[in-house]
Chain A
Amino acid sequence: MRYLPKSPTERQEMLADIGVKSIEDLFSTIPEAYRLKNPLNLPGPLSESEVIEYFQDRSKENSVGYTSFLGAGIYNHLRSVITDTILQRGEFLTSYTPYQAEMAQGTLQAIFEFQTMICQLTGQEVANASMYDGSTATTEAVLMAERLTTRRRVLVARSLHPEYRDVLRTYAKHSGLKLEEISYTQAGTVDAKGLQTALRDDVCAVVVQSPNFFGAIETLRPLAEAAHSSGALLVVAVAEGMSLGAIKPPSEADIVALEGQSFGLAPSYGGPFLGVLASRDKFVRQMPGRLVGQTTDQDGRRGFVLTLATREQHIRREKATSNICTNQALCGLAATVHMSLLGKEGLREMAEHNISKAHYALSELEKISGVKRCFSSSFFNEFTIELPRSVKMINAELRKDKIVGPFVLGSAYPELTKHALVCVTETTSRAEIDRFVAALKRALAQPL
């Protein structure tokens, strides 16, 4: 087998050195009755070209050739080939977690740069080296707020991504946390009055998303003030990281839970993505996840190491801030390379392209009779529209034109029965937007 660097002769020599007759002797500690007599019933073995063929066949059974208007937490953005060039370097791809710093300065310095860029992006003081994704990062942010305040009630915006809320619910079940929902207004943003009423001195965190699931941008200052006046912390989840290229950073937040997928990671049917936590310096000891710090070696050279490890599972064990061990390091590297390539001006420009494309799409859609803009708040690259009939049925029609239509909000929000979440990024051409608008118009004109 091409992955195994041994010849039969070498195996024999090694067995002889060990002092056994056959390889089976080395498995003698497994009780006889439980040793498999036959090989496993698995497909293969496949040659390299056959492996490729298998996946190429699968790739043809998906959505190649379709134009998509889906966002809802995963975004199509331009990616430079340079990102993969760097990611595929064996020294990054096949290296281990940088516990032995002298042999991993490349990884450690790249993470240090990543932590810095996340702070710059989010307006926070410290950022970790990654969590699994935005949903688990948001959950860890809430658990962090619980540790910091020792309180148990959590006020969660209904406009937080439905899957983020699901994950939070799963983790909260056994932690004694009480989750309560805060609704949204006609503007599409958090009901600040409702929040104020619900706040008491037993709340550890107020959790909002901006831009929220409906695409609406939240005004954070009053939410932060309300939370702080009760001694609660403000957790802000950001699912579309690219929005921070044009929108003010959530510096009013105490903890930011960012999903970094927009920075150089392909949608890849749902993962792997990139969660990150960013917060204030004073909270760092309660922050889970790895942290890279700058230091010097014995000769005074600058170097980088994993630090504050006493928060983590391998030292604290049952008292750790989290059980996380493996994180999303390579995805973090992709984001670091991507953010370095975009740079200050590229990030701003890309964000502005998103705004222009999405606003163009909305203005064209509003020209169709029966299509209404829902929610009046400003938006970035996603917005909600209301249609005169079932979005699911419209999408079925659009599919015939090789269009993957907008997210059916009714599937997660029963009160939004005919609402659709439309996402348009810099990757969608004007021609495709026009084609989508025309197809939607045709679909609405069809007799029921």
Chain B
Amino acid sequence: MNDNIKKASRHISQNEGLIFEHSSAGKRAFDLPRLDVPAVDPHKALGEHHRSHGTEGFPEVSEIEVLRHFTRLSTWNYAIDLGMYPLGSCTMKYNPRVNEYVARLDGIATEHPYQPQELSQGCLKILQLLEKCLLEITGMDAITLQPAAGAQGELTGMLLIRAYHEKNGNPRKTVLIPDSAHGTNPATAVIVGYEVQNIKSNADGQIDIATLREQVTGDVAALMLTNPSTLGIFEQQIPEIAEILHAKGALLYMDGANMNALTGVTRPGDLGVDVMHLNLHKTFSTPHGGGGPGAGPVAIKKILEPFLPVPVLVEKEGGKLALDFQRKDSVGKVKAFNGNFGVLVRALAYILAYGPGVRQATQDAVLNANYIRKHLEGIFDLPYTRPSMHEVVFSDSIQKKNGVSTMDIAKRLIDYGFHPYTTAFPLIVPGAMMIEPTESESKDECDLFIDAMKSIAREAATNPELVKTAPHNTRVRRLDEVAAARKPILRWKPS
């Protein structure tokens, strides 16, 4: 079963229990410096509020046990540092280590947002330069760096759209969303008080212009578009789509999750987009860290500028930078303080490293996706045959004949040493396999991936049980998600 696996081998990995299972009263991992002021009796100071019994159950372990515990846990994870993540629309690219270094500098990591603005010019300059770079990349007029993630960026974008319509006398009722969209799109539209109307994609996986013309009425506030779509296909008729919307006074929102196909090659602002968000933890290399933090800046056209969330970065006379909180038409604050500044620093470091050459990254990303597509075409079913950009979507329909699904193939890919691609999304492709290799993958890594996928396709044909019961070589095998949902155990408890 392991003969064809080239990228990975079995290895001894350490076992490790829960940190609480190592805990024993009297062990310490951390010492405080000597107290240099008179000690105050906490009971005297806090009275009835005093937590006299301490934090029951909190671990009591030594420093080496903490270090070993988390080091061992880390060895059970896959990571970009170990190899490709072919996850569609996640853009799992290299997280440059210099970005970690600069984000931790004294004078960068240590600053408090409420300190005087005269003592924060360094931070404000970083924000200003990042704004300038992202506006150049997107071709938009203004930007907010406040939102903490893509979903929050979508929320902010929708709030701006709503504020704009309200200012014009009619907030309108609906938002149009393609059936191929990421779940955050409809979830967000509803939070802002709109109803969602689905648009069906046509046979090419694109928005059908004729249908759109019918659906865009005076009740439509906006269309939320992902471009390239979640199928990895460029929406060629964006300028027409923008025209149709603008003719009825509606706006075009672009979900920028797939910017990795566009950076340096085309600009959403030029295509007619009115407002869009970016995912810095995708296109701009900031680390996923197991699920976040990210950042979701929102770039806009001038018409939406009065409504930007506060604070807005402004330049005063003499070149001094400041944060402006006095904006009467602002949608308000979407998050406390200043957005995920540490993430913004990392994104700027990434952009500075590339400079104008960032276009090469986009080209390599699209090259890798098409290379993989070429080599896997015919082996896996390709439901939409239009050219792919930075990602390609196959389906499991060939393998399904032997009862092997996209989920099974994904699990077998784990035995081959790769993280799975995105399974079962977008929803419009039954049995979807969404593959995005990013520009960080070498030709060798791409070849290993192609090889693994071909081998699994052969297994699906000749030995389907092997694939259906994968993974075989991991520390844990398929986990019982049903039991986890029926009787959730969401914390450790002492026995």
Contact = CB atoms under 8 A, between A and B. Distances in A.
**Chains A and B come from one and the same complex:** yes
B236 interface: yes
Nearest to B171: A174
Contacts of B471: 102
Given A5-B440, A329-B289, 14 more contacts: A3-B361, A6-B443, A45-B354, A62-B123, A91-B74, A94-B289, A102-B476, A103-B77, A107-B290, A116-B492, A121-B55, A303-B479, A342-B58, A344-B55
A313 B187 contact: yes
A248 B50 contact: yes
Contacts of A167: 332-336
Contacts of B420: 100
A249 B484 CA distance: 28
B287 interface: yes
A215 to B, nearest CB: 12
Contact of A272 (B28, B126, B340): B340
Given A132-B335, A308-B485, A337-B70, A297 B111 contact: no
B292 A303 contact: no
Interface string B273-314: 000000101000001111111110000000000000100000
B384 interface: no
Given A40-B264, A105-B76, A307-B488, A297 B29 contact: no
Interface stretch (A178-186, A197-205, A349-357, A438-446): A349-357
Contacts of B122: 57-62
B290 A329 contact: yes
Contacts of B11: none
B290 A100 contact: no
A61 B125 contact: yes
Contact of B87 (A96, A121, A304, A310): A96
Contacts of B200: none
Interface in A274-298: 284, 290-298
A225 to B, nearest CB: 15
A313 to B, nearest CB: 4
Q: Which residue, B46, B74, B279, B476, has most C-beta atoms of chain A within 10 A? A: B476
Contacts of A270: 113, 336-339, 341
B150 A316 contact: no
B187 A323 contact: yes
B274 to A, nearest CB: 16
A292 B490 contact: yes
Q: Which residue, B40, B57, B182, has most C-beta atoms of chain A within 10 A? A: B40
B240 to A, nearest CB: 10
Contacts of B375: 17
B100 interface: yes
Contacts of A82: 63, 66-67
A294 B489 contact: yes
A102 B337 contact: no
B54 A348 contact: yes
Contact of A100 (B29, B133, B363, B414): B414
B408 interface: no
Nearest to A58: B122
B82 A40 contact: no
Given A115-B491, A293-B490, A339-B58, A271 B191 contact: no
Given A268-B111, A341-B63, A355 B45 contact: yes
Interface stretch (B88-96, B208-216, B396-404, B453-461): B88-96
A90 B80 contact: yes
A219 B59 contact: no
B342 A272 contact: yes
Contact of A133 (B58, B239, B335, B478): B335
A54 B358 CA distance: 19
Q: Which residue, A26, A247, A268, A293, has most C-beta atoms of chain B within 10 A? A: A268
Given A90-B80, A349-B32, A43 B352 contact: yes
B374 A101 contact: no
Contacts of B247: none
A65 B220 CA distance: 54
B115 interface: yes
B148 to A, nearest CB: 4
A39 interface: yes
Q: Which residue, A312, A314, A316, has most C-beta atoms of chain B within 10 A? A: A314
A129 B267 CA distance: 36
Q: Helix, strand, loop or mixed for chain B's interface?
A: loop
B151 A36 contact: no
Contacts of A23: 363, 366-367
A246 B109 contact: no
B327 interface: no
Contacts of A436: none
Given A63-B120, A174-B192, A326-B291, A109 B73 contact: yes
A297 B476 contact: yes
A330 B360 CA distance: 30
Nearest to A118: B491
Nearest to B386: A29
Contacts of A431: 36
Contacts of A326: 149-151, 279, 281, 288, 291-294
B480 A360 contact: no
B354 A91 contact: no
Given A62-B119, A70-B115, A102-B414, A42 B133 contact: yes
Contacts of B364: 4, 6, 11
A249 B123 CA distance: 36
A294 B288 contact: no
B356 A46 contact: no
A90 B81 contact: yes
A92 to B, nearest CB: 5
Interface in A15-50: 15, 17-19, 23, 26-31, 34-36, 39-46, 48, 50
A429 B37 CA distance: 8
B152 interface: yes
A88 B78 contact: no
B357 interface: yes
Contacts of B445: 5
Contact of B288 (A94, A249, A349): A94
Interface stretch (A71-79, A147-155, A226-234): A71-79
Interface in A149-171: 161, 163-164, 166-167, 169-171
Contacts of A299: 477
Contacts of A269: 108, 111-113, 120, 123, 337-338, 341-342
Given A78-B32, A295-B479, A343-B27, A93 B151 contact: no
Q: Which residue, B87, B266, B292, B294, has most C-beta atoms of chain A within 10 A? A: B292
Contact of B292 (A26, A266, A330): A330
A416 interface: no
Contact of A112 (B338, B361, B491): B491
Interface string B15-36: 0101110000001111111011
Given A61-B125, A327-B292, A55 B476 contact: no
A374 interface: no
Contact of B337 (A15, A29, A51, A73): A73
Nearest to A97: B291
A53 to B, nearest CB: 10
A26 B387 CA distance: 8
